[in-house]
Amino acid sequence: MPKIATWGDLPPAIRQHLIDRMRDRSISIEDLNHLRLWIDSNPEVPEGNWYRDFGSFKICGAGMLPKTFLLRGQSAKGKAI
């Protein structure tokens, strides 16, 4: 299983999309810190679509790349991790 990519390894277009979604969805610094701690743990992610629910938001990805953020209550596709 692949490991999730770190911020510096993301293509610029994906980084910008994630920044835009963080702002659009008003994800707090505290929530982003929970995300950072999870990414710092170097988690394995499935090859296909996946998501991780942090309670107040979800991060969704495909393989090693995180792709977007969803708000609580928005449905995600793929394997929950």
pLDDT, tens digit, for every residue of 35-51?
999 999 999 999 999 99
Integer Cα distance of 47 and 66 in angstroms: 12
Per-residue pLDDT, 34: 94
Q: What is the pTM of this model?
A: 0.88
Q: What is the pLDDT of residues 27-38, one digit of tens each?
A: 999 999 999 999
Q: If DSSP codes are grouped into helix, strand and coil, which group holds residue 17?
A: helix
Domain parsing of the chain, residue ranges = 7-80
